[in-house]
Amino acid sequence: MTRQPGPEAPHPTRPAGPQSLTALLTLLALLPALCALFVLTAPGARAAEGDPAVSLSKKEAGKGAEITVRGSGWRPDALLMLLICGQSTPERGVIGGTNSCANADGRAVTTDRKGAFSKKLPVTEPPKPCPCVVHVATVTGEQALADAVFTVAGHPTADLPRQGGDGKLAVLATTRLEGDSSLLTWFGAPPARRLVLTVGNLGSDPVEDPVFEIGTAHGVYAPQWEERQWRGTVAPGGKARIELPVELSAGAHGDYQVSLRYGDKVLAEQPWGVGRPWGVTLFWVLLCLVVPAAVFRIGMAVVDKVRPRPAGVHRLRRPTAPPAVIAKTDTNTNATTAVLPWFTPDSAPSENRPRPTTKGQA
């Protein structure tokens, strides 16, 4: 007699001892560290951590030559501007803003997914003497910049202006926006104003031709900064009234925030409510009304032209005789007129007219 195998009896499990609990707790403690290590070794993590860097294929070249600019550590898919600037060093930056750069011969480039780029840049002479740098800065989004030392062969060289570390500007009066919108703004032209403020120099050194940055922000978006240079000198302990132009893009409307920055410090912020360009809306409304009406009239004219006419309905037209018949009729009329004699009332023959009598006749 064969014995069928049956289900095995379960083995008794031992309760977890102190060693098993210690191993489990150790594993749970190491789990966050392992996750962090995985994130740090992931592709692109190192590029995000590093600072923007720029390298050049040549450190010196003359006017008309071409160099290759390479960068790494930038924000992915960022639009950058490449310029050769004079009167600048990586330590002090571009003195005088982009007015010291060869703006007409700059180049734009977009970084790849890893934040790197490579772009050829023609060598031109900047408006300011060397020392010079290749200045790379972001155009939109969060501001980031980097400079690389470069020498333009044959370009004049001069010492950098003395750094006035004790010159400090501060806003002394309320900032305001001056100016009115024109009729063109009602039809979508760029709104423009003047940012007016009074600044004072709280330091011991004069501030000459300060370069400000004006940023315009709409909603939750970051401000877009543009450089504005004011021509003049603010003496130590003195003050000056400054007017800087502010302009938005075409068709802009809504609530905007205008910010003024000098160096790394934001001096003032001013709200700006821009009305909607109703002229553009009116134009589109009229366009939506006129175009369908014109198409409808053209369509009705075409339908009236090509639709078939019902039987028995004819347009009333004046009957005209053929040219041959008209010519023949004119010929007969002329001939009859020429053959018939001309009669006067006294000479016309008449059968009932009495004949004249002669004296001496019966």
Tokens 């423009």: give the residue. 192
Strand-pair partners of 55: 70
Give strand pairing partners of 217. 257
What's the 3-state SS for the chain? CCCCCCCCCCCCCCCCCHHHHHHHHHHHHHHHHHHHHHHHCCCCHHHHHCCCEEEECCCEEECCCEEEEEEECCCCCCEEEEEEECCEECCCEECCHHHHECHHHCEEEECCCCCCEEEEEECCCCCCCECEEEEEEECCCCCCEEEEEEEEECCCECCCCCCCCCCCEEECCCCEEECCCCHHHHCCCCCEEEEEEEEEECCCCCEECCEEEEEEEECCCCCEEEEEECCCEECCCCEEEEEEEEECCCCCCEEEEEEEEECCEEEEEEEEEECCCHHHHHHHHHHHHHHHHHHHHHHHHHHHHHCCCCCCCCCCCCCCCCHHHHHHHHHHHHHHHHHCCCCCCCCCCCCCCCCCCCCCCC
CB 252 within 8 A of CB 264: no
Cβ atoms of 209 and 230 within 8 Å: the answer is yes
Residues facing residue 33 across a β-bridge:
none
The CA distance from 80 to 340, in Å, is 108
How far is the first Cα of the chain from the last one, in angstroms, to the nearest whole number? 190
> How far is Cα 92 from Cα 133, in angstroms, rounded to an integer?
11
For residues 214 and 244, is the Cβ–Cβ distance under 8 A?
yes
For residues 47 and 116, the answer to whether their CB atoms sit within 8 Å is yes
pLDDT of residue 151: 94
Pairing of strands 145-153, 60-62: parallel
Q: Tens of pLDDT along the chain (362 residues)?
A: 444 444 444 444 444 444 554 554 555 555 444 444 433 333 333 333 468 999 999 999 999 999 999 999 999 999 999 999 999 999 888 887 788 899 999 999 999 999 999 999 999 999 999 999 999 999 877 788 999 999 999 999 998 877 655 568 888 888 899 988 788 888 888 899 999 999 998 887 788 888 899 999 987 778 888 888 898 888 888 899 999 999 998 888 889 999 999 887 888 899 998 888 888 888 888 889 888 989 998 999 888 888 887 775 555 555 555 555 555 555 555 544 544 455 555 555 555 555 655 555 54
* Cα–Cα distance measured from residue 228 to residue 62, given in angstroms and rounded to the nearest whole number: 30
Which pLDDT does position 41 carry in this prediction?
36
Length of the chain: 362
User: Does residue 156 contact residue 178 with C-beta atoms inside 8 Å?
Assistant: no
Tokens of 20: 């098993």
Tell the residue number behind the tokens 């409307």, with chain if given.
Answer: 253
| CA distance linking residue 241 with residue 266, whole number of Å | 17
Q: Give the pLDDT of residue 22.
A: 54
- Look up tokens 């050049």; give the residue: 56
Predicted local confidence at residue 251, as pLDDT = 83
With a threshold of 0.85, does the pTM exceed it? no
Query: Encoding tokens for residue 206?
Result: 């004069």
pLDDT value of residue 342: 52
Report the DSSP beta bridge partners of residue 89.
93
pLDDT of residue 66: 94
Asked if residues 148 and 54 have their Cβ atoms less than 8 Å apart, the reply is yes
Using alpha carbons only, what angle is made at residue 131 by residues 126 and 136, rounded to the nearest 5 degrees?
65
Question: In the structure encoding, which two tokens stand for residue 62, read together?
Answer: 């003359």
